[in-house]
Amino acid sequence: MFAMRLLWLCVATLALLLVLASAATLKDTPKERYDGYGVYRLSVKNKLQQAVIEQLSQLSSKYNIWKDYDEHSQEVHIMVAPAELQHFQALLSLHAISSEQIIENVQDLIDAEQVTPAADSAPFGWTKYYELSEIEAWLDSILAAYPAVTEEFIVGQSYEGRTIRGIKISHKAGNPGIFIESNIHAREWITSASATWFINELLTSQEPAVRNLAESYDWHIVPVFNVDGFEYSHAKNRMWRKTRQPHATNECIGVDANRNFDSHWLENNGASSNPCSETFAGDVPGSEPEAKALTEYLKTIENEFSVYISFHSYGQYLLSPYGHTKEEFPDNYDDLLEIGEAFATAVESLPYGTAYRYGSTADVLYVATGTSVDWVFNELNKKVAFTIEYRDQGRYGFILPPVQILPNCQELMAGMLALIDKTEELGYL
Ligand code: 0X9
Ligand code: ZN
């Protein structure tokens, strides 16, 4: 008996040590640096050029796709390691691919992103970006401050054992529901900054239109969905996109969670089967505990929401289904376009004049399969589901300067008010 207890104690201590050790590794190992890394806008005119870039993007330690090829812009944004530059330039000229440098030194932007106003001593705000623990502490304070109208919900656990948390804001029973999922892509930091701002507005704004938004709908909001990836993007690698689960015997870690859902999974080249690709779909649909947890959770609250929105950056788009094909469009595509137009017009009418394009993902951007939005639309049969791709169009890309957080949030609110108004007018809410 005593020996048994001792054995258990040893096992428990060992497990604790392992957890502590892995937590320590993340903090102790140095951060990935991006000195001299440039980002280039390539103009891609034919299939051969497309194939060359596709090949480059497989060399994941040297090249990183920031924005995939789309037929409208006929552009790719790609980050290149300094040691590769000569080879890269030679390849471009060999294949007559014209290019323009849009970011000279990614590390400079990462450094500048950390410089925040000295006067900003508030515990939480929207003039800087916060880590997961800070966002969670803020969420706790909000839940404590507004107990009558807020409630925490748990989507599930991540691969590394973190809890994926959400907040429900409800002023009365029977309200139609809107679900917001944010930061499924780790490096898209503006998405969780915008989600927390939006939560705060719903709870504190005195504007009649915002009060109406807050009180007439139930909001289910997950500010940071890809918790492992987000933590990793802060602690280790600012440019991390995927989840953190290792796959097979491969050295490349993680899956594009937004390709891992069971809707046209891995069809039509809308994702990659290569574990080193930034759009790796996973070994099977739902291979990622995060994606699996979200689908299970959404099924349990299926009757509690009618609109689904996923926050991303960058590019300035409001994207609707389908992602898997541009040969077909949803039955209610005209309505989705009308909602898109309302959103874009409202955003553009602000003094910033920021232009958003709208339409189906596959038509306006590129074919993407196994996305959360398409799963909700196709499998849960929710008729209004969108992806918002926030600022900008490549000047800063994923490293949107903190001074742009608030302007981006104002655009979100203007767009969201118009989106919900139009959705209601068309009878979906
Ligand atoms: O490729 C993606 O997953 C999204 N773009 S991003 O640059 N943020 O990675 C677009 C996905 C939108 N598509 C659908 N939800 N169908
Ligand atoms: Zn994204």
DSSP result, 299-326: HHTGGG-SEEEEEEESS-EEEES-SS-S
Q: What angle do CA 328, 330, 335 make, to 5 degrees?
A: 130
For residue 364, the tally of other CB atoms under 10 A from its CB is 20
**Which residues sit with their C-beta closer than 6 Å to ligand 1?**
185, 188, 258, 312, 319, 323, 361, 368, 371, 373-374, 387, 389
DSSP 379-426: HS--SEEEEEEES-SSSSTT---GGGHHHHHHHHHHHHHHHHHHHHHT
Candidates 285, 318, 290; CA nearest to 386 is 318
Average pLDDT score, the chain:
93
Q: Which ligand is nearest to the CA of 367?
A: 1
- Looking from the CA of residue 389, the nearest atom of ligand 1 is 8
Pocket test for ligand 1, best of 255, 371, 376, 384 (most atoms within 8 A of CB): 371
Tell me how far apart the alpha carbons of residues 42 and 177 are, in angstroms, rounded to a whole number: 42
Tell me how far apart the alpha carbons of residues 254 and 259 are, in angstroms, rounded to a whole number: 12
Q: How far is the CA of 323 from the centre of ligand 1 (A)?
A: 8
- 304 belongs to the catalytic site: no
- Looking from the CA of residue 323, the nearest atom of ligand 1 is 16
The mean pLDDT value for 318-333 works out to 98
Scan for tokens 């930091």, then name that residue. Answer: 189
Better pLDDT: 6 or 162:
162
Pocket test for ligand 1, best of 361, 367, 391 (most atoms within 8 A of CB): 361
First to last CA, the chain: 62
Q: Which ligand is nearest to the CA of 393?
A: 1
pLDDT in tens, 192-250: 999 999 999 999 999 999 999 999 999 999 999 999 999 999 999 999 999 999 987 67
Q: How many CA atoms lie within 13 A of 141 on its CB side?
A: 11
283 within 8 A of 275, measured Cβ to Cβ: no
309 confidence band (pLDDT: 50, 70, 90): very high
| β-strand partners of 177 | 218
DSSP 266-302: T-TTSSBS-TTSTTB--SSTT-SHHHHHHHHHHHHTG
Q: How far is the CA of 312 from the centre of ligand 2 (A)?
A: 4
13 confidence band (pLDDT: 50, 70, 90): very low
pLDDT in tens, 276-305: 999 999 999 999 999 999 999 999 999 999
The continuous run of DSSP H or E covering 63 comes out as strand 63-70
Better pLDDT: 55 or 169:
169
Share of the chain above pLDDT 70, in %: 93
- Looking from the CA of residue 374, the nearest atom of ligand 1 is 16
Q: What angle do CA 160, 166, 168 make, to 5 degrees?
A: 165
The pLDDT of residue 182 is: 99
Q: How far is the CA of 419 from the centre of ligand 1 (A)?
A: 19
| β-strand partners of 170 | none
Helix, strand, or coil (residue 169): strand
The pLDDT of residue 120 is: 63
- Looking from the CA of residue 324, the nearest atom of ligand 1 is 16
Which residue minimizes the CA distance to atom 3 of ligand 1?
258
Q: How far is the CA of 241 from the centre of ligand 1 (A)?
A: 12
Q: pTM of whole model > 0.85?
A: yes
DSSP 234-274: HHT-TT--S---B-TT-S-B---GGG-SSSSTT-TTSSBS-
Better pLDDT: 29 or 4:
29
pLDDT in tens, 25-51: 566 789 999 999 999 999 999 999 999
The mean pLDDT value for 372-376 works out to 98
Q: How far is the CA of 121 from the centre of ligand 1 (A)?
A: 35
Which residue minimizes the CA distance to atom 16 of ligand 1?
323
Q: What is the largest CA-CA distance in the chain?
A: 76
Q: How far is the CA of 394 from the centre of ligand 1 (A)?
A: 15
290 within 8 A of 159, measured Cβ to Cβ: yes
Residue tagged active-site, from 75, 181, 290, 389 = 389
Give just the sign of the alpha carbon dihedral 96, 270, 337, 201. Answer: negative
The pLDDT of residue 3 is: 47
Helix, strand, or coil (residue 369): coil
For residue 406, the tally of other CB atoms under 10 A from its CB is 15
Scan for tokens 């400079």, then name that residue. Answer: 108
Q: At a CB cut-off of 8 Å and minimum separation 6, what does 210 contact?
A: 201, 202, 413, 417
Which residue minimizes the CA distance to atom 15 of ligand 1?
373
Helix, strand, or coil (residue 98): strand
Taking the CA atoms of residue 341, residue 342, residue 345 and residue 350 in that order, the dihedral angle to the nearest 10 degrees is -150
pLDDT in tens, 258-277: 999 999 999 999 999 999 99
Would strands 307-313 and 384-390 be described as parallel, antiparallel, or unpaired? Answer: parallel
For residue 2, give both structure tokens. 């005593």
Tell me how far apart the alpha carbons of residues 428 and 307 are, in angstroms, rounded to a whole number: 8
Scan for tokens 């927390």, then name that residue. Answer: 196
Q: How far is the CA of 84 from the centre of ligand 1 (A)?
A: 27
- Looking from the CA of residue 66, the nearest atom of ligand 1 is 7
pLDDT in tens, 92-138: 999 999 999 999 999 999 999 998 776 566 789 999 999 999 999 99
pLDDT over 70 (residue 20)? no
pLDDT over 80 (residue 53)? yes
For residue 20, give both structure tokens. 């502590």
58 confidence band (pLDDT: 50, 70, 90): confident
Q: List CB-based neighbours of ion ligand 2 within 5 Å.
A: 185, 312
- Looking from the CA of residue 322, the nearest atom of ligand 1 is 16
